[in-house]
């Protein structure tokens, strides 16, 4: 009896130790590529699977285009750039684990950020702890930049706090008789939307525009009829929605069903999506406002060739996510080229004190990594998304106001 | 006044759909005391099937629901024979865990087959509404309300008036006795699962054009359907319908008068309240508890 | 014993290895995988106390992680409290939530309980998101970054988690080998029977739940500091709950090391699959893998790896001794000589001696009055019989007396004390015990454990003593010897015959040293020899001063034992007196006995 129990215990111990060893070996198998003469490795963890898989693909392609262009021109510091990509399935725990692995196991030379504030939050914290530079392409929640990280930089002209800037400017520029008197605010409870809506509400209230309805809805909401009915009853002249993805289209469809069309309608995120016109009806896009980080037609340096190269490489026109990634790569490359070596602290210090020219224009940051620009104001006009402000990027001088009613 | 009226209209319409989605769950619990945690996954699966029928062949989702009952019924029987029967024999308490595992597998299979992108069928009426006085009645929801009522009545008729229905009830209450009169509980179990999953097809059809869905939408729907059956009496089909209406109206009223944010809690809160106060549900008959084995 | 020594050596070795890893390797990733494994093991061990020992399956245990994490995070971010102190507060909050959850189980059990845990997890998530002023809501909550130098890397996380795991396993082991564990296993087998034997099941369950919640909560707090950013969806997460359940089930529910083993299999597997699987379908494949694993464990390996392996090894040993049949009745076993009733035909109803009185008991189920104004009295030291046709309300009357069912009206008085408002454990503490027509014993316990489990008094210190102390064992073995069942002392009740189980149930009742005993058809379905032994035991009970109320259809058996008999029909007592008196009563003959039977003609046993 003793022998059997002993052998069982030993077997059990051996198995558990073996399992530990296996998992150790499996991860230790990756090679250490950080020799000065080998490729320059850049690590990232992207949500290639999971709820945002379709959106992240173009973001990933943006990175790939950037890397191939850099390599075509001789690489960075004379070394070919190699992207080391892990998939986190949009799970922030996994993102944290992935970046830890990239830094400590794969020992990548540089990092590039992932998409959405949800994932970038833990990732940037890990990068900060390990004192590595972290440039993130998207995920503009202002709370990311209040933690005192000096290694963090946002590769867009503005965060959610500055999202409202251009639109508020335009409303303010309207003569008092044309300004809306009442406004309704509807937003999803999401870091990429609700902070911006809060800023809108505060600034418009300061302008004297009365808030007649203001509600936040749960991310899982799919039926907007009740909210739309409440909005319709409140009869706002200005309607602002903090949409994140398809909730934008769903909400507009509810408004159409209830036959309520505000004079001015602004939505975050949703209107930039190419499935948007089909989702709400192509004629119904006329006059809708949105905020963009990037426009394909903006005349910033390198933008047109970016669009052409991307379309050539992947067969489709680039989306804003692709542009954001490309921009992040540009920022990183600019710093590395300027410093001439891989020194995380020096790279960060340089970025804090210099502007970088990118396809979204010149970017410069404050000490928290918060960019000092503002996002573009876009509007759907005659079936095309045009940029109406700021002037440096504007593609049209006309602004549709008021928005026409819904077409049958 | 119209504010309340409109909220009630939306609530009743949405609630009837909630009741429709929970009928399958009600049946399996009421008759077999099995909580099928895979109900949400089955709903989404039917939704994807209806969506594919609509996208590929242009078949209206309402009609598609009828077509989809067939594969769903077959799936129900397969699940029963392969999994449920087995686990019931091994350890009854783990049945709920087994169905939970099924839900995860189903979600993965759906994601592999259809991809993670959101889907929604958009037949012509999805954007239209009737106007009755100052009230707006969305057409799509109205049709599903009719469907829900129809399915509920049909199921009640089957349970109460057909031989099969009586056999099902008998086998549930007294398996040994049922065997003595020629009703084999195992075969009946297969029938129950077939009917339950077939009725889920209609719920899925409703989802396919009323809401947008992804493979992981099943989390949302399982919570909601559990709430419906807990409120309405785990086992009572009309009870589930009434509970669905109650939930829908509560959700609409909360959204309109309290806060949209808290409306999200409405589907789950009743579970806690009901199970703490009256576990057998609001509309179930009280049964003698002390003669159990 | 050498096997114990080997076990201790292996455990020490493994611990040393785990403790030494951060010192010899600076691989942060490897450490982080181990830390996550520790967390899962703590969660699974905690779950095991609730779901493995007490049988309450919960799908919501990640809520404890969430509560611990957020408490710690809020204290750290808003009050500047060090997370290493804050995590204790996190454990406290999680423990309180667990205590509340255990209160829920008063009414909600089985599958309803599982649903409640699922719903509670969802609702906590919604509450955390909505209460955004405190928790940061959907924006998330950022904790201050650790302040120690990079030279120490993750040690301040790693070692506390490892230590916490050791503590959790030690506590789990102490629970399992103590009376708390004994009670929990009994609750898992048959909760109502356990409370009828005097176990304050509510207290046992609360202890179990609080232990489960507290350790998991503390782990959640440490995790929050490690991750430095909290998001509601990530922490109040159903998948984490599922992994906890999977780890415990896979390793072996109800064992001490099973959940730890399960965690050490699952977590590295999870990490392996997430890092080595690529492509657009990776997430779906992982879900398929874990869902499939969970289903496979439930269907094919329901006991888990550890019990299956040890069971297999045990079967390979020498075949177990089958206990030989016990000595027949009358041989060296019986310590008390059998004899007939003490008085013949003495119609006494001494109020002074009555230990149990039922006055005007009524129980109505809707329109049906199962018990319709029953009055009876049981005298100390006497055996009282209760007879009547099936459906006359005898079992319901028993249920009213022992508290299984609440009376619509009327009262029950036990040794002068009104017990109508007392719960079942309290009635047992007052001295009331009962057996069942189909004997109910605890299948997970041995026969000796079954006998020693009843308790007259709850004391917290007692919960941590060994399951069966030496003194208790001696007393129990002596009882079993009297019944001729001594060879079966350490077997499972499943190996006993029906009659033997009845005897053991009776021994359970005797262990309580009760004031009143209710026996429900004790002689039904057993051989005459065994019935005789049973009768002896009943007489000896009465001799000790216990009042016995006996329901029987075996009239000769009843007549030999009882000094007084009540007859019940249609919920009412229609006659009472000695056996001879009631058998002559016309009403009794009409209702039950029939003309053919004459109790008076039954001879007293030699």
Q: Is A218 an interface residue toward B (CB < 8 Å)? A: yes
Residue extents of the structural domains in chain A: 40-158+299-363, 165-296+376-393
- CA angle (B283 as vertex; B278, B287 as ends), nearest 5: 70
Residue C1 — pLDDT band, cuts 50, 70, 90? low
Tell whether the model's pLDDT for residue C600 goes beyond 60. no
- CA angle (C481 as vertex; C477, C482 as ends), nearest 5: 120
Tell whether the model's pLDDT for residue C349 goes beyond 80. no
Question: What pLDDT was estimated at residue B172?
Answer: 67
- ipTM for the predicted complex: 0.83
Contacts of C107 in chain B (CB under 8 A): 276, 279
For residues B158-189, one letter each, b for 16 or more C-beta atoms within 10 angstroms of the residue's C-beta and e for the rest, the string is: bbeeeeebebbbbbbeebeebeeeebebeebb
For C435-454, how does the pLDDT look when each residue is reduced to its tens digit (9 = 90+)?
998 899 999 899 999 999 99
Q: Which of B188-202, B272-286, C490-504 has the lowest mean pLDDT?
A: B272-286
Tell the burial category of A14 from Cβ atoms under 10 Å away from its Cβ (0-12, 13-18, 19+). Answer: exposed
Residue B221 — pLDDT band, cuts 50, 70, 90? confident
Question: What pLDDT was estimated at residue A310?
Answer: 95
- DSSP letter (8 states) at residue B285: P
Nearest CA-CA distance, residue B4 and chain C, Å: 25
Rounded Cα distance between C359 and B146, Å, is: 57
Contact in structure between C117 and C101 (CB atoms under 8 Å): yes
Q: Name the residue in chain A with its Cα closest to that of B214.
A: A51
> Are the beta carbons of B290 and C291 separated by less than 8 Å?
no
Q: Name the residue in chain A with its Cα closest to that of C230.
A: A122
Question: What pLDDT was estimated at residue C132?
Answer: 82
Question: What pLDDT was estimated at residue C388?
Answer: 86
Contact in structure between B5 and B137 (CB atoms under 8 Å): no
Contacts of C104 in chain B (CB under 8 A): 275-276
Q: Name the residue in chain A with its Cα closest to that of C268.
A: A23
For A295-310, how does the pLDDT look when each residue is reduced to its tens digit (9 = 90+)?
888 888 899 999 999 9
- A184 phi and psi, to 5 degrees? -120, 145
Determine the topology of domain B2-128+135-277 in CATH: ABC transporter involved in vitamin B12 uptake, BtuC (1.10.3470)
Mean pLDDT of A316-320: 89
- DSSP letter (8 states) at residue B279: T
Rounded Cα distance between B201 and B172, Å, is: 24
Q: Which of B19-23, C233-237, C346-350, C542-546 has the lowest mean pLDDT?
A: C346-350
> Are the beta carbons of A226 and B255 separated by less than 8 Å?
yes
> Are the beta carbons of C302 and B94 separated by less than 8 Å?
yes
For residues A363-400, one letter each, b for 16 or more C-beta atoms within 10 angstroms of the residue's C-beta and e for the rest, the string is: bebeebbbbebbbbbbbbbeeebbbbbbeebbbeeebb
Question: What pLDDT was estimated at residue C145?
Answer: 80
Q: Do A40-158+299-363 and A165-296+376-393 agree at the fold level? A: yes
Nearest CA-CA distance, residue C183 and chain B, Å: 20
Question: What pLDDT was estimated at residue B290?
Answer: 39
Mean pLDDT of A200-220: 92
Tell whether the model's pLDDT for residue C195 goes beyond 50. yes
> Are the beta carbons of A227 and B260 separated by less than 8 Å?
yes
For C10-59, how does the pLDDT look when each residue is reduced to its tens digit (9 = 90+)?
889 999 999 988 888 877 778 888 999 999 999 999 999 999 999 999 99
What is the DSSP secondary-structure string of A121-167?
HHHHHHHHHTT--EEESS---GGGGGS--SSEEE-SS--TTTTTHHH
Is the model more confident about B174 or about B211? B211
Going along chain C from its start, the domains and CATH numbers come out as 2-311 (1.10.3470), 440-512 (no CATH)
Task: Please tell me the pTM assigned to this model.
Answer: 0.84
Rounded Cα distance between A396 and C516, Å, is: 96
Rounded Cα distance between C222 and B73, Å, is: 48
Is the model more confident about C601 or about A398? A398
Query: Which secondary-structure segment (H or E) carries B199?
Result: helix B185-210
Question: What pLDDT was estimated at residue C597?
Answer: 57
Which of B62, B106, B8, B57 shows the shortest CA–CA distance to B207? Answer: B62
Residue A21 — pLDDT band, cuts 50, 70, 90? very low
Residues 42-61 of A with CB under 8 A from B: 49-51, 53-54
Distance of CA B230 to the CA centre of its chain: 12
Contacts of B210 in chain A (CB under 8 A): 223
Q: How many CA atoms lie within 13 A of A211 on its CB side?
A: 16
Nearest CA-CA distance, residue B273 and chain C, Å: 9
Query: Which secondary-structure segment (H or E) carries B43?
Result: helix B39-57
Average pLDDT over chain C reads 84
Q: Which two tokens stand for residue A353?
A: 């004190």
Residue C519, beta-bridge partner list: C550
Distance of CA A189 to the CA centre of its chain: 16
Q: Name the residue in chain C with its Cα closest to that of A3.
A: C3
Contacts of B35 in chain C (CB under 8 A): 111, 114-115
What torsion, rounded to 10 degrees, do the Cα atoms C307, C311, C312, C314 define? 140
> Are the beta carbons of B261 and A225 separated by less than 8 Å?
no
For residues B4-42, one letter each, b for 16 or more C-beta atoms within 10 angstroms of the residue's C-beta and e for the rest, the string is: eebbbbbbbbbbbbbbbbbbbbbbbbbbbebbbbbbbbb
Range with top average pLDDT, A316-320, B258-262, C92-96 = C92-96
Mean pLDDT of A16-41: 53
Average pLDDT over chain B reads 84
For A124-164, how does the pLDDT look when each residue is reduced to its tens digit (9 = 90+)?
988 988 889 999 998 888 778 888 888 999 999 988 888 99
Distance between first and last Cα of chain C: 51
Q: How far is CA A280 from CA B122, C145, C420, in A?
A: 11, 45, 68
Contacts of A17 in chain C (CB under 8 A): 14, 17
Residue A387, beta-bridge partner list: A378
Nearest CA-CA distance, residue C274 and chain B, Å: 15
Contacts of A98 in chain C (CB under 8 A): 275
Rounded Cα distance between A137 and A331, Å, is: 10
Which of C303, C52, C53 shows the shortest CA–CA distance to C181? Answer: C53
Question: What pLDDT was estimated at residue A213?
Answer: 94
Contact in structure between C132 and A195 (CB atoms under 8 Å): no
Residue extents of the structural domains in chain B: 2-128+135-277
Q: Give C67's contacts (C-beta < 8 A, 6+ positions apart).
A: C90, C93, C94, C97, C124, C217, C220
Residue with tokens 């408002």: C421
Closest partner residue to B279 (CB to CB) among C107, C294, C404 is: C107
Residue B188 — pLDDT band, cuts 50, 70, 90? confident
Contact in structure between A408 and A284 (CB atoms under 8 Å): no
User: How many residue pairs bridge chain B and chain C with CB atoms within 8 Å of each other?
Assistant: 131
Nearest CA-CA distance, residue C43 and chain A, Å: 17
Closest partner residue to B260 (CB to CB) among A49, A50, A217 is: A217
Give me the sign of the Cα torsion angle C477, C482, C486, C490: negative
Distance of CA A65 to the CA centre of its chain: 18
Q: Name the residue in chain B with its Cα closest to that of A278.
A: B122
Nearest CA-CA distance, residue B23 and chain A, Å: 21
Pairing mode, strands C383-387 and C368-379 = unpaired
Residues 77-136 of A with CB under 8 A from C: 86-89, 91-94, 96-98, 100-101, 103-105, 117-118, 121-122, 125-126, 128-131
- C573 phi and psi, to 5 degrees? -85, 120
Nearest CA-CA distance, residue B133 and chain C, Å: 36
What torsion, rounded to 10 degrees, do the Cα atoms C369, C374, C378, C382 define? -80
- C513 phi and psi, to 5 degrees? 55, 60
> Domain A40-158+299-363, CATH 3.30.70.1060 — does that match?
no
Q: How far is CA A50 from CA A58, B113, B281, C277, C282, in A?
A: 15, 14, 37, 14, 9
For A31-51, how does the pLDDT look when each residue is reduced to its tens digit (9 = 90+)?
444 446 789 999 999 988 766
Mean pLDDT of A181-197: 91
Question: What pLDDT was estimated at residue C596?
Answer: 58
For A73-107, how does the pLDDT look when each residue is reduced to its tens digit (9 = 90+)?
999 999 999 999 988 878 888 888 889 888 888 88
Q: Name the residue in chain A with its Cα closest to that of B2.
A: A233
Determine the topology of domain A165-296+376-393 in CATH: Rossmann fold (3.40.50)
> Are the beta carbons of A125 and C275 separated by less than 8 Å?
no
> Are the beta carbons of A141 and C139 separated by less than 8 Å?
yes
Contacting subunits of A (3+ beta carbon pairs below 8 A)? B, C
Q: How many CA atoms lie within 13 A of C593 on its CB side?
A: 24
């Amino acid at each position: 009896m003793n022998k059997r129990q002993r052998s069982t215990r030993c077997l059990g111990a051996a198995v558990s130790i073996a399992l530990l060893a296996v998992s150790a070996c499996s991860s230790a198998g990756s090679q250490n590529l950080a020799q000065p003469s080998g490729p320059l490795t850049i690590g990232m963890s992207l949500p290639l699977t999971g709820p945002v898989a379709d959106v992240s693909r173009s973001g990933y392609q943006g990175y790939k285009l950037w890397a191939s262009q850099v390599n075509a021109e001789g690489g960075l510091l004379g070394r070919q750039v190699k992207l080391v990509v892990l998939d986190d399935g949009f799970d922030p725990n996994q993102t944290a684990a992935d970046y830890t692995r990239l830094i400590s196991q794969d020992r990548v030379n540089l990092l590039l950020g992932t998409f959405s504030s949800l994932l970038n939050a833990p990732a940037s914290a890990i990068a900060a702890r390990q004192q590595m530079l972290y440039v993130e392409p998207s995920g503009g929640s202002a709370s990311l930049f209040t933690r005192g990280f000096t290694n963090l930089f946002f590769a867009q002209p503005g965060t959610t706090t500055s999202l409202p800037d251009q639109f508020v400017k335009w409303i303010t520029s309207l003569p008092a008789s044309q300004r809306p008197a009442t406004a309704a605010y509807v937003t999803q409870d999401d870091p990429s939307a609700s902070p911006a809506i809060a800023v809108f509400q505060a600034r418009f209230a300061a302008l004297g525009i009365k808030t007649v309805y203001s509600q936040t809805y749960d991310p899982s909401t799919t039926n907007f009829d009740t909210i739309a009915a409440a909005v319709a009853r409140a009869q706002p002249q200005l309607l602002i929605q903090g949409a994140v993805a398809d909730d934008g289209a769903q909400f507009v469809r509810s408004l159409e069903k209830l036959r309520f069309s505000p004079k001015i309608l602004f939505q975050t995120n949703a209107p930039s999506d190419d499935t948007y016109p089909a989702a709400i009806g192509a004629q119904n896009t006329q006059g809708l406002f949105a905020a963009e980080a990037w426009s394909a037609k903006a005349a910033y340096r390198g933008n047109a060739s970016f669009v052409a190269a991307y379309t050539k490489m992947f067969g489709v026109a680039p989306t804003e996510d692709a542009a954001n990634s490309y921009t992040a790569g540009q920022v990183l490359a600019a710093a590395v080229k300027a410093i001439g070596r891989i020194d995380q602290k020096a790279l960060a210090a340089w970025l804090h004190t210099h502007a970088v020219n990118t396809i979204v224009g010149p970017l410069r940051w404050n000490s928290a990594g918060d960019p000092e620009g503002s996002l573009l104001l876009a509007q759907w006009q005659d079936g095309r998304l045009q940029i109406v402000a700021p002037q440096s990027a504007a593609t049209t001088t006309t602004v549709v106001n008021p928005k026409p009613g819904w077409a049958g | 006044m119209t504010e309340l009226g409109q909220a009630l209209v939306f609530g009743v319409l949405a609630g009837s759909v909630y009741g429709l989605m929970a009928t399958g769950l009600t049946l399996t619990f009421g008759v077999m005391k099995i909580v099928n945690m895979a109900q949400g996954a089955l709903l989404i699966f039917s939704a994807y099937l209806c969506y594919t029928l609509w996208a590929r062949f242009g078949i209206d989702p309402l009609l598609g629901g009828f077509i989809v009952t067939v594969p769903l019924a077959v799936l129900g029987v397969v699940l029963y024979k392969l999994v449920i029967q087995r686990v019931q024999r091994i350890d009854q308490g783990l049945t709920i865990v087994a169905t939970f595992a099924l839900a995860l597998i189903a979600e993965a299979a759906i994601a592999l087959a259809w991809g993670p992108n959101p889907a929604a069928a958009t037949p012509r009426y999805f954007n239209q509404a009737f106007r009755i006085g100052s009230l707006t009645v969305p057409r799509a929801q109205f049709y599903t309300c009719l469907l829900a009522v129809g399915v509920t009545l049909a199921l009640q008729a089957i349970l109460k008036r057909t031989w099969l229905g009586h056999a099902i009830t008998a086998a549930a209450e007294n398996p040994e006795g049922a065997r003595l009169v020629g009703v084999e509980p195992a075969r009946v179990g297969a029938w129950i699962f077939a009917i339950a999953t077939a009725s889920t097809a209609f719920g899925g059809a409703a989802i396919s054009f009323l809401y947008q869905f992804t493979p992981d939408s099943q989390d949302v729907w399982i919570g909601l359907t559990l709430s419906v059956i807990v409120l309405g009496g785990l086992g009572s089909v009309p009870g589930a319908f009434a509970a669905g209406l109650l939930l829908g109206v509560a959700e609409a009223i909360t959204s309109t008068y309290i806060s949209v944010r808290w409306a999200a809690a409405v589907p789950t809160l009743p579970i806690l309240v009901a199970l703490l106060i009256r576990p057998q549900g609001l509309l179930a008959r009280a049964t003698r508890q002390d003669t159990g084995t | 014993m050498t096997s114990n020594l080997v076990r201790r050596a292996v455990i020490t070795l493994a611990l040393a290895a785990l403790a030494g890893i951060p010192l010899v390797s600076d691989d942060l990733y490897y450490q982080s995988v181990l830390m996550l494994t520790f967390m899962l093991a703590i969660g699974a061990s905690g779950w095991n106390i609730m779901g493995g020992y007490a049988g309450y399956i919960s799908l919501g245990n990640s809520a404890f992680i969430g509560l611990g994490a957020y408490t710690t995070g809020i204290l750290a971010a808003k009050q500047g409290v060090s997370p290493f102190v804050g995590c204790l507060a996190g454990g406290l909050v999680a423990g309180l939530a667990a205590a509340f959850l255990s209160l829920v189980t008063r009414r909600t059990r089985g599958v309803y309980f599982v649903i409640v845990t699922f719903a509670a997890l969802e609702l906590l998530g919604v509450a955390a998101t909505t209460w955004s002023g405190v928790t940061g809501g959907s924006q998330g909550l950022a904790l201050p970054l650790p302040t120690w130098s990079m030279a120490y890397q993750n040690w301040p996380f790693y070692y506390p988690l490892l230590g916490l795991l050791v503590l959790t396993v030690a506590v789990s082991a102490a629970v399992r080998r103590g009376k708390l564990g004994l009670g929990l296993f009994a609750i898992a087998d048959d909760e109502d029977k356990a409370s009828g034997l005097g176990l304050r099941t509510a207290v046992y369950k609360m202890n179990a739940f609080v232990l489960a919640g507290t350790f998991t909560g503390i782990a959640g707090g440490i995790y929050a500091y490690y991750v430095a950013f909290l998001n509601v969806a990530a922490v109040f997460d159903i998948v984490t709950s599922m992994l906890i359940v999977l780890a415990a089930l896979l390793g072996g529910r109800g064992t001490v090391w099973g959940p730890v083993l399960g965690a050490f299999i699952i977590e590295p597997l999870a990490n392996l699959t997430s890092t080595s699987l690529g492509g657009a379908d990776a997430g779906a494949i992982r879900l398929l893998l874990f869902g499939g694993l969970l289903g496979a464990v439930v269907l094919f390996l329901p006991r888990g790896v550890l019990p299956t392996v040890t069971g297999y090894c045990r079967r390979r040993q020498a075949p177990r001794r089958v206990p030989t049949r016990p000595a027949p009745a009358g041989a060296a076993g019986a310590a008390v000589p059998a004899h007939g009733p003490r008085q013949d035909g003495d119609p006494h109803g001494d109020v002074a001696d009555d230990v149990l009185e039922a006055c005007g008991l009524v129980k109505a189920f809707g329109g049906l009055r199962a018990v319709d104004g029953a009055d009876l009295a049981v005298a100390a030291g006497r055996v009282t019989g209760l007879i009547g046709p099936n459906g006359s309300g005898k079992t319901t009357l028993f249920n009213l007396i022992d508290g299984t069912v609440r009376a619509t009206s009327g009262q029950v008085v036990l040794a002068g004390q009104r017990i109508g408002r007392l719960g079942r454990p309290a009635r047992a503490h007052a001295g009331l015990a009962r057996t069942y027509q189909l004997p109910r014993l605890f299948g997970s316990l041995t026969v000796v454990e079954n006998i020693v489990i009843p308790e007259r008094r709850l004391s917290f210190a007692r919960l941590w003593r060994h399951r069966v102390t030496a003194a208790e064992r001696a007393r129990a073995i002596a009882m079993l010897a009297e019944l001729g069942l001594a060879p079966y002392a350490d077997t499972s009740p499943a190996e006993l015959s029906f009659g033997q189980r009845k005897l053991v149930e009776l021994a359970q009742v005797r262990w309580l040293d009760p004031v009143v005993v209710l026996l429900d058809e004790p002689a039904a379905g057993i051989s005459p020899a065994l019935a005789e032994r049973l009768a002896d035991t009943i007489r000896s009970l009465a001799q000790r001063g216990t009042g016995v109320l006996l329901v029987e259809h075996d009239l000769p058996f009843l007549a030999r034992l009882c000094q007084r008999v009540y007859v019940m029909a249609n919920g009412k007592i229609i006659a009472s007196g000695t056996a001879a008196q009631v058998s002559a009563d016309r009403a009794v003959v009409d209702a039950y006995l029939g003309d053919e039977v004459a109790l008076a003609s039954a001879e007293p046993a030699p």
